[in-house]
Amino acid sequence: MKKIIVLVSVILLSSQSIFSQKETTVVTIKNSESAPIINKNIYGHFAEHLGRCIYGGFFVGDTSKIPNTNGVRNDIIKALKELKIPNLRWPGGCFADTYHWKDGIGPKENRPTIVNQWWGGVTEDNSFGTHDFLNLCELLGTEPYLAGNMGSGTVQEMADWVQYVNFNGKSPMSDLRVKNGRKEPWKVKIWGVGNEAWGCGGNMTADYYAGEYRKYATFMSDWSNSGGLMRVASGASSDDYNWTETLMKNIPNQMLGGVALHHYSVIDWAKKGDGVDFDEDLYFKTMKQALKMEELVTKHSAIMDKYDPNKKIALVVDEWGGWYEVEKGSNPGFLYQQNTMRDAVLAGATLNVFNNHAERVRMANLAQCVNVLQAVILTDKTKMLLTPTYYIMQMYSVHQDAKLLPLTINSPSYTFNGESLPALSASASKDKNGLVHISLVNVDSKKPNTIEIDLNELGIKSVSGVIVTSSKLQDHNTFDNPTKIQPAVFKGFQIKKGKLEVVIPPFSVVTLEGK
């Protein structure tokens, strides 16, 4: 019999006894030949010239005493390789529509400086540019996703950037690339045509942006990628469904590779709440915003289906995550925040949504990779730590390029102050080796949940597991205690008559492997 492995990722929220919950939630998993592949690019990341993401994060310079490769920290390279990140978006964000790529090529001492007008008004010296980023992607074995400047740039500027990085023949831009030390093109396939055009990217209307997109896309020629470029249109903010409708109606399908969507789990833009010192009210409100992703993806996908019934155009959620007040004493423009078990729950629930909508959602980018917003890595000079979100992304990486297994779950409710949310979410997949993985998230901050999964048709006889847990929802890793939250052996499950019963303890992330 072929071996089948089941991975169950469960995210939970307190320290109550795992054996106090009697009600059982049955998860039914179905094999489906028509189910889509979960595109690995759903597990993408985002690196913007913002705060300490690039400078003081990824990039310390090649003269730094911190071990590095061409100025990029070796410990970050190692951590991201182990995370198997499939793509990395750069240079923004809002920064992208102020970025002129030619400022970041050639001898570093000759590069001009600019002011980062969006993020703290700091001086940007352009010491980390196109070559640095694309060479980093090669080191990581990840696909680069370049966000082009439509807001303050020109059509010619973006067309030249495509030629510079992709053209293998003789041309002004490819000659310039060779002069700057790179003979072979990088063959960048994924390109963002502007960013947040409705806001920092130019305060455009949807109709105006659709016309500009058509013009830019026309001149973004490619010669190096089979199938051409994947052009990603600047899409809607959260529930602006008119934006998606206008783009899908006014831009020919053949010009669109993807339409973006941005949604942050923010309780109030004027008063976002603390990243660590939060109560259950703030937690509930944050998770309410996070779980809204299901509604957003469903409704934006339905609009896209009207104009693209064959689902050839991807929904690209290239900015998502939790957004709180900055850490006390840090620069407000640097968006540096801590990362607690709340963020682990948020990440798991969101990734389940993306997995279950894999036929339309084919790329996403967590914001952001290092030292900004819901980062997977934090640094402090020579020190580096991995956040709870890092471990969730690592756990869910088993779904990359695996076949979706449709499932049903009748979730109990998580109720607070008279409002209710689904306490559980789930997604499942089968990889090319026949291994089955199931991810479950418990959103309830107090009650454990018992889940039952029928293993008979999966042929599973034995199960082992690991757990990530802590004593409080607000717990997090610090530079003084960087391993407070990390995986440990988990034994809170049993198999009875071919059925797996998992008692999901609050405040935990569980991975079960069955053979």
Annotated catalytic residue within 48, 143, 212, 319: 319
* Cα angle for residues 316, 166, 113 (degrees, 5° grid): 80
Secondary structure in 3-state letters for 482-513 = CCCCCEEECCCEEEECCEEEEEECCCEEEEEE
Known catalytic membership, residue 319: yes
Q: Which residues does 302 contact at the CB level (< 8 Å), separation at least 6?
A: none
Helix (H) or strand (E) run with residue 10 in it: strand 6-11
SS3 98: helix
Provide the residue count of the chain.
515
Known catalytic membership, residue 124: no
Q: How far is CA 2 from the centre of its chain?
A: 33
Do 283 and 227 form a contact (C-beta atoms < 8 A)?
A: no
SS3 113: coil
CA distance readout (Å), 374 to 47, 102, 300, 359: 12, 30, 24, 26
Residue whose token pair is 């076949």: 403
Q: What is the CA radius of gyration of the chain?
A: 23
Annotated catalytic residue within 48, 124, 143, 196: 196
CA distance readout (Å), 115 to 55, 93, 107, 112, 331: 14, 15, 20, 10, 16
Do 453 and 438 form a contact (C-beta atoms < 8 A)?
A: yes
Q: Which residues does 209 contact at the CB level (< 8 Å), separation at least 6?
A: 194, 197, 198, 202, 233, 234, 247
**Enzyme catalytic residues:** 196, 319
